[in-house]
Structure 1
């Protein structure tokens, strides 16, 4: 039998926008295969009794498998002694019925123990894959916003998919193929050494060593082509997903042909690598068959000579032939198995490398939950805060202000001044480089991130929705009952009440499926204003003590903006609120307005006071009023 060909990876995977490839590790930085196995071992050893039971069944299966040729020899020898007798006499006298039954029982037992082994070990295999996949998924959510902003959607989905599959592949091939073959080989060598002269053992060992050395050497050499295939496949997959996710942009600029050419360039590179891989696979298969054929011929020649000399029986010749065929059949797949195991180890290593990626933002040792005041909302204070995404380009420079409990502070200023960065720092998507941010007197770096984010609600400028129903996206604001973790906390009535407050209930009710209407990938079936109102509704449903409105009404028309602005002011009453805005008309009622320029506060005060100063805020107000009048 020939080794399996390299099948192209499927290109029609689901368009996931969850994870992507981290920066590639330097060549040679990959851990050793033994180190990867050592890291995987605890996931399997969690099911140690199943592992041990599976190994026991595997040994029993191989004992039964080796016993089949032995019984076959006995049957042939007994039949050989029946020359000249009638068939009836031979069947009734010379060939004991027990021998036939034992032969059939061994055949059945081999399959039985093999199936029991797979059945017992299935839970361990699937459990290890599930645990590892869940750990990777959780770790990806724990990584910083910087990691997710730098990702390339599509590439890592392929790596994660391969890594999860690799756990099953590695365990299946090693436990179900490599280890059983080694056990069977040891049993066959022992049997040959006991029953025949040492030459049989040396022929078998020589053929095996030659086979393994040739297979490993050629497989190692051709791994570069297999790796190149995977790289090209990931690149093509990433290119396709990136293009499809930006479908509208492609249409806007009439670049379908350009995208097709770029995709085809990756496919052509993949095709060339696949052809080279197939050529080397053919070389591997041919060499393997030559070694196997040579070893088999040498064994049968030795056995036939023994029969001719009277040192061996015809049954011995049949047994040797059956043992060799039984042994060489799994060896035919050694090249494929070795390559797949090596590839699986590499894929699993990528997952472990991702798991070992340091969290840029992590809970401090001994961090406790944020303690909120028993009565009323907390205050928020930025004290001499400095921050930079890149050390060479500071964003915030010694920023200090306070949002008093239950008050609203607005931040305005030109693009790039650092306004939205304030929201990201308050959520602790990044850690500040200087100063402190305190909620109710507690440094947010000393409390758990989960409790911090539970206390804050945000309506972002760019709303991205799940590809699910409107009800699901609104209800996402409160997915659990605080008193009963794990149980959904928002009823349909509460979801509809939040939708009414966000002025989207009438729109939803007008849809044929109502709240069960699907919003599409990233919510693209809804307009910008509709998406933003869904975001407002789910934040209202969360009902946190601290609110952030980051251009919360930027995608709304004037009529809806005024209506929702009034609702937001009502919702913000009695809550500590940070409003980030470009439109100054939306912040005139704020208790204090901060004018931010180049990461510094250049003006501060209520709307009327800032207008009287006739400074930066007054100029921005006059400019926006003139634009509004012209429109």
Structure 2
């Protein structure tokens, strides 16, 4: 990717991308690569990872620990979630025992209603054994009954009322827990998005050079949404499931230690099955989210460059690439979901096996009189409650793996190398006159490929400095260094005698207006696009009469008003990022008008008139000449006819200034500038026919 092709953010909202100089090799953030490799990702775009070895295992434990660490600001809420979970689970665990007691009342009433009235419980049991009804006596012995009384409906009603209260209380505590969990998760994701947004403003331009925009967007949107979904469905549920296992296990041992031990056999079996399945599904989740980012990157590239794809007839190739990536995503998603989806059926099988064993042994113990029917019923419910949270935990491993894979990708972005911070006590210029000086500047995008070496250049206030040279000479790199999109490796750049590294980037860039070759418009009205540099208008602010007058002056100076008045809605016409019905020249005029509104002391024009027609170019050049009065201007140009009036013309080759001077002076020297000029304007010389060839 050339440095002119690299996306750039101009100050004051004059944003665009330039094209033409190819001196900059694509760079990839080493820190991001390291983190991406840990997450099983591939750097360098949709095709950058072809032939790479298999992905390394995801550091799931470390990632989840870091994710939980991000919740430390919600300690009180997390304690509340745990407390509410304890209360909800405790009430839910009491319920089966109460229902078991209700069953015992009904069972004892039906068994004892045919016994003689007026005798004691002990006398009734002795009479049954004396008459040979030992089995009935064994069934009645653990129960509390009154011979001949039948079912005690009053006691039954009281127990059922308590059951209703217990389950209602469990529901209310669970509802509160879910609500607080939603607040915690969404607040955390809100802050995570803020951190990512702030991080994107701190990473250097080279990070975006090595990352497809679709991949970055996937991390900011899809991955964060997946983390939110994972936390929403696992945070409270995981706490509840663990507490349920503990509570149910306690009640099971209280009812029957033997059956509890039998039920516990399923725990290591479930854990073993879960671990084996998770080990196979985890790499597929990593592959799934990596491929999602790659597919998004390809779609974004094909969408933004759809005209170019059609011009060169590459739709079939683009479709094949899409099909390959889509097929890989299908394969990874299918395997991830299918493999992890077998966890729940496997847990269900183990749970049913446990149910059968408990039912058989419990029935034998009821028949022998060592347990009541209500206790067996309660234990079966507890065994279901015991295996259910284990099954849920196992199923949550599915989401946890997917969420951890997404979190790893987001953290790779958050851990990416940042640009050097602004100074703690920055230099501030009361008034910028616009003197820009390069003092022995050296810079390279890659240590093994020097680009600019020992470059010195001074632009006095009000001067127009034109920068020309062949493709790859480093023209746009020079502009990037002025804007501090990159920092110099050696030497320094000063603004009015102050090293730009001693200023904040915001202060520096507020002093510069920039118009690039490729236009950038956002979805909104033409008026909103023009006044974008004015802070008061960026968040829905009204166009005051003063701002409107300022906009109209800019529109008239750049001849935007000439075509805007022909539109049905005038300045209220809504345009999209692609410009809608506006021509390339009209879009370029809008970006030039945007720079006029910014009214900066320094202007950077990178082939700013390349998209306008010859007549409009003449008008724009006149307007720019008026605008440049009293301002320092840097003009990058390939068409030398547009810069003949520049105060200083700088000719660059291979990152060095080989010539500088006025247009007339450089033509007289018969050097690099003259050769460039003649290559554009000198008529080709016809070769005389070779005499020998004629004959």
Which residue number in structure 1 is paired with residue 421 of structure 2?
A: 363
Which residue number in structure 2 is paired with residue 288 of structure 1?
A: 347
Which one of the candidate residues 56, 80, 95 is aligned to 2:107?
80
Deviations 1:180-231 (A, max 9, x none): 11111111111122232x2122122211221122112212223233333444
CA change 1:382–1:486 in 2 (3 A) is farther
Which residue number in structure 2 is paired with residue 103 of structure 1?
A: 163
2:605/2:634 contact within 8 Å kept: yes
Structure scoring higher RCO (CA < 8 A, sep ≥ 6) equals 2
Which residue number in structure 2 is paired with residue 68 of structure 1?
A: 95
Residue 151 of structure 1 aligns to a residue whose secondary structure is coil
TM alignment of 1:297-336, pairs within 5 A: 297-336=356-395
Q: TM-score, normalised by structure 1?
A: 0.88
Deviations 1:210-268 (A, max 9, x none): 11221122122232333334444443343333222221122112333332222222333
CA change 1:421–1:50 in 2 (3 A) is same
* Structure 2: gaps of 5 or more residues: 1-15, 17-27, 41-54, 115-148, 685-695
Which residue number in structure 2 is paired with residue 250 of structure 1?
A: 309
Q: TM-score, normalised by structure 2?
A: 0.80
Q: Deviation of residue 627 (structure 1)?
A: 6.6
CA change 1:378–1:527 in 2 (3 A) is same
Residue 477 of structure 1 aligns to a residue whose secondary structure is coil
Moved more, 122-131 or 589-598: 589-598
Which residue number in structure 1 is paired with residue 480 of structure 2?
A: 424
CA change 1:237–1:593 in 2 (3 A) is closer
Q: Deviation of residue 363 (structure 1)?
A: 2.2
Which residue number in structure 1 is paired with residue 673 of structure 2?
A: 617
Deviations 1:563-602 (A, max 9, x none): 1111111111111222222223322332222222222222
Which residue number in structure 2 is paired with residue 168 of structure 1?
A: 228
Residue 351 of structure 1 aligns to a residue whose secondary structure is helix
Residue 94 of structure 2 aligns to a residue whose secondary structure is helix
Give the Cα separation in 1 of the matches to 2:160 and 2:285.
48
Give the Cα separation in 1 of the matches to 2:537 and 2:293.
41
Deviations 1:310-342 (A, max 9, x none): 111111111112222233333333332112112
2:442/2:453 contact within 8 Å kept: yes
2:319 matches 1:260: yes
Give the Cα separation in 1 of the matches to 2:629 and 2:301.
43
Q: Deviation of residue 145 (structure 1)?
A: 1.7
2:617 matches 1:561: yes
2:244/2:389 contact within 8 Å kept: no
1:78/1:94 contact within 8 Å kept: no
Which residue number in structure 1 is paired with residue 192 of structure 2?
A: 132
Residue 305 of structure 1 aligns to a residue whose secondary structure is helix
Which residue number in structure 2 is paired with residue 159 of structure 1?
A: 219
Q: Deviation of residue 458 (structure 1)?
A: 0.6
Which one of the candidate residues 590, 593, 598 is aligned to 1:537?
593
1:478/1:489 contact within 8 Å kept: no
Give the Cα separation in 1 of the matches to 2:517 and 2:67.
43
CA change 1:60–1:627 in 2 (3 A) is farther
CA change 1:602–1:225 in 2 (3 A) is closer
Give the Cα separation in 2 of the matches to 1:574 and 1:626.
34
Deviations 1:370-402 (A, max 9, x none): 42243x623110111122223333322221111
Which residue number in structure 2 is paired with residue 397 of structure 1?
A: 453
Which residue number in structure 1 is paired with residue 283 of structure 2?
A: 224
Which residue number in structure 2 is paired with residue 382 of structure 1?
A: 438
Q: Deviation of residue 432 (structure 1)?
A: 1.3
1:43/1:131 contact within 8 Å kept: no
What root-mean-square deviation, in Å, do the aligned CA atoms of Structure 1 and Structure 2 show?
A: 3.0
CA change 1:229–1:25 in 2 (3 A) is closer
Deviations 1:455-492 (A, max 9, x none): 1111112222224432332222223489xx99788844
Which residue number in structure 1 is paired with residue 272 of structure 2?
A: 213
Give the Cα separation in 2 of the matches to 1:447 and 1:289.
65
Which residue number in structure 1 is paired with residue 37 of structure 2?
A: 25
2:555/2:561 contact within 8 Å kept: yes
TM alignment of 1:525-604, pairs within 5 A: 525-604=581-660
Which residue number in structure 1 is paired with residue 429 of structure 2?
A: 372
How many residues get paired?
603
Give the Cα separation in 2 of the matches to 1:273 and 1:591.
61
Residue 383 of structure 1 aligns to a residue whose secondary structure is strand
CA change 1:174–1:267 in 2 (3 A) is closer
Residue 362 of structure 1 aligns to a residue whose secondary structure is coil
2:181/2:232 contact within 8 Å kept: no
Q: Deviation of residue 61 (structure 1)?
A: 0.6
Moved more, 419-428 or 609-618: 609-618
Residue 399 of structure 1 aligns to a residue whose secondary structure is strand
TM alignment of 1:27-46, pairs within 5 A: 32-46=59-73
Q: Deviation of residue 126 (structure 1)?
A: 0.6
Give the Cα separation in 1 of the matches to 2:652 and 2:608.
19
Deviations 1:18-64 (A, max 9, x none): xx995442568777334323433343221222221122111111011
